[in-house]
């Protein structure tokens, strides 16, 4: 069930001109020394003078992952609309992207889940809200979300939280910890799948939920913009022969991403006698090497070392996607709207996703749509046999049919995940927050 928000209608005010006899007089002299200076563009007063808000955006890091990318997307949208943005985060490679559009960056240890650190962060954020005269606080993850929630409530300003995935709730403490993402004045979900999960778990009213999709840089992820030499460099680095089919898995090396399911499926493909294919994992483990070690143990144990590569993070991701035959997401818990899958579709690559890896709003797959409309295939999460079957089916298609699937995927992303698709509902939501702030 998707909550569709109505568009706000505006009416131009009529202008009436009335003729009158006017006596023109010389204006009085102005004492320049007494004229107060105009507020600077990056000050709270400057933001209000432009009719904008001052927004505190909170993210654990600005490096990789859905929350980090979502925070950057929000900053770009708000900055383009004339709002003043302050970003608090532990930092990372994306800091330059937020400062380049005029946002103020404040370094804080917001990746920590230590309760004492989180409480200190809450007090520090409350000071930022007070000193910078913030109008809205917007959180993008749970640990900084709790600090932001406490700061917003203490300061009496609206609080927003964006949910990018479905978190595991293995006990009551975990459920409480996760619940901060639904405590906002409005709850933002990146997909219908996540919105449905929020309603199911927390009974959150639909009128408090906004479904705002991720936007993709369709210019960067454009197959026409990736020259063949870039693709050749990537395939050479992987040791891929010209006729080798590439199964590409993009995403951080985390158990919930289901990389172990992919390795089991690859093992089954080998047992079936499939030849001339290679599975490449592109992603980083961010120092959490235990799961990566388990994956290598699996590869060694089932004899798939010749068809598995763990390439690590790629600088030229568009070229890596262009080098793939199919892109896979085998998530074993609800992942929401996977940016990597949308980028793969934007690059006109067929995709195979688990039923928890991406919803029907991201990937058009049978039986939900006819085969001549599909942009990929879907399989049951955690089922390597089903994944292997889906890969065999794609590999057995003529190249022209795979190309047609990819072309439909790009058309779907261009129509539904462009910058305007995310900007319009975001700005509409912030108009509501502005009204709420005025009432408070």
pLDDT in tens, 203-223: 999 999 999 988 888 999 999
pLDDT at residue 43, as a whole number: 57
Co-location of 253 and 402 in the same domain: yes
Co-location of 275 and 205 in the same domain: no
CA pair distance 197, 15, nearest whole angstrom: 49
Give the number of other Cβ atoms within 10 Å of residue 285's Cβ: 17
Mean pLDDT taken over the chain: 86
Co-location of 274 and 341 in the same domain: yes
| Structural domain includes residue 37 | no
pLDDT at residue 9, as a whole number: 33
Co-location of 270 and 296 in the same domain: yes
Instruction: Report whether 347 contacts 221 (CB < 8 A).
Output: yes
More confident residue, 188 or 420: 188
Instruction: Give 176's pLDDT tier (boundaries 50, 70, 90).
Output: confident
pLDDT at residue 34, as a whole number: 39
The answer on pLDDT for 322 being more than 50 is: yes
More confident residue, 9 or 373: 373
What integer is the mean pLDDT of 384-409?
Answer: 96
pLDDT at residue 87, as a whole number: 96
What integer is the mean pLDDT of 388-403?
Answer: 96
pLDDT at residue 12, as a whole number: 35
Co-location of 174 and 264 in the same domain: no
Co-location of 202 and 308 in the same domain: no
> pLDDT (tens digit, 9 = 90+) per residue, 91-149?
998 999 999 999 999 999 999 999 999 999 999 999 999 999 999 999 999 999 999 99
Buried b (16+ CB within 10 A) or exposed e, 197-233: bbbeeeebeeeebbbbbbbbebeebbbeebeeebbee
Residues 6+ apart with CB under 8 A from 30: none
Query: Quick one: tokens of 44?
Result: 């709270």
CA pair distance 222, 241, nearest whole angstrom: 24
pLDDT at residue 231, as a whole number: 95
Pairing of strands 104-107, 136-139: unpaired
The answer on pLDDT for 56 being more than 70 is: yes
CA pair distance 176, 145, nearest whole angstrom: 12
CA pair distance 159, 55, nearest whole angstrom: 10
The answer on pLDDT for 249 being more than 70 is: yes
Co-location of 312 and 205 in the same domain: no
CATH classification of the domain holding 281: 3.40.50.2000
CA pair distance 88, 98, nearest whole angstrom: 11
pLDDT at residue 167, as a whole number: 77
- Domain with 363 in it: 223-416
Of 12-16, 325-329, 350-354, the least confident: 12-16
pLDDT at residue 45, as a whole number: 52
Co-location of 114 and 133 in the same domain: yes
Co-location of 178 and 296 in the same domain: no
Co-location of 183 and 329 in the same domain: no
pLDDT at residue 217, as a whole number: 87
| Structural domain includes residue 375 | yes
| Structural domain includes residue 274 | yes
> pLDDT (tens digit, 9 = 90+) per residue, 192-205?
888 998 999 999 99
Co-location of 173 and 282 in the same domain: no
- Its pTM stands at 0.77
């Amino acid at each position: 069930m998707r909550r569709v928000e109505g568009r706000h209608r505006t009416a131009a005010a009529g202008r009436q001109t009335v003729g009158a006899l006017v006596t023109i007089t010389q204006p009085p002299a102005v004492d320049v020394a007494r004229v107060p200076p105009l507020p600077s563009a990056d000050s709270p007063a400057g933001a209000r003078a432009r009719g904008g808000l001052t927004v505190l955006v909170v993210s654990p890091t600005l490096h990789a992952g859905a929350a980090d990318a979502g925070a950057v997307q929000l900053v770009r949208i708000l900055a383009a609309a004339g709002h003043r943005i302050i970003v608090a985060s532990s930092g990372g490679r994306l800091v330059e992207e937020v400062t380049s559009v005029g946002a103020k960056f404040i370094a804080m240890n917001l990746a920590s889940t230590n309760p004492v650190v989180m409480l200190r962060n809450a007090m520090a954020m409350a000071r930022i809200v007070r000193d910078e005269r913030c109008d809205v606080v917007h959180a993008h993850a749970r640990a900084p979300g709790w600090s932001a929630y406490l700061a917003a409530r203490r300061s009496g300003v609206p609080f927003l939280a964006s949910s990018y995935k479905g978190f595991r709730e293995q006990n009551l403490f975990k459920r409480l910890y996760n619940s901060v993402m639904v405590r906002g004045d409005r709850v933002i979900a990146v997909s219908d799948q996540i919105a449905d999960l929020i309603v199911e778990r927390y009974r959150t009213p639909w009128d408090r939920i906004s479904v705002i999709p991720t936007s993709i840089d369709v210019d960067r992820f454009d197959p026409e913009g990736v020259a063949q030499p870039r693709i050749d460099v990537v395939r050479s680095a992987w040791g891929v022969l010209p006729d080798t089919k590439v199964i590409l898995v993009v995403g951080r090396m985390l158990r919930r991403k289901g990389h172990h399911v992919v390795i089991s499926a690859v093992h089954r493909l080998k047992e079936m006698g499939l030849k001339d294919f290679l599975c490449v994992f592109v992603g980083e483990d961010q120092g959490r090497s235990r799961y990566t070690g388990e994956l290598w143990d699996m590869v060694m144990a089932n004899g798939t070392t010749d068809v598995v590569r763990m390439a690590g993070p790629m600088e030229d991701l568009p070229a890596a996607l262009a080098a793939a035959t199919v892109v896979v997401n085998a998530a074993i818990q609800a992942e929401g709207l996977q940016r990597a899958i949308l980028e793969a579709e934007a690059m006109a690559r067929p995709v195979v996703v688990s039923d928890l890896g991406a919803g029907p709003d991201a990937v058009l797959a049978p039986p939900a749509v006819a085969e001549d409309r599909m942009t990929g295939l879907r399989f049951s999460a955690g089922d390597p046999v089903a994944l292997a079957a889906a890969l065999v089916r794609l590999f057995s298609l003529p190249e022209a049919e795979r190309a047609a699937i990819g072309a439909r995927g790009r058309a779907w992303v261009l129509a539904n995940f462009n910058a305007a698709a995310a900007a319009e509902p975001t700005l509409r939501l912030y108009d509501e927050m502005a009204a709420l702030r005025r009432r408070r």
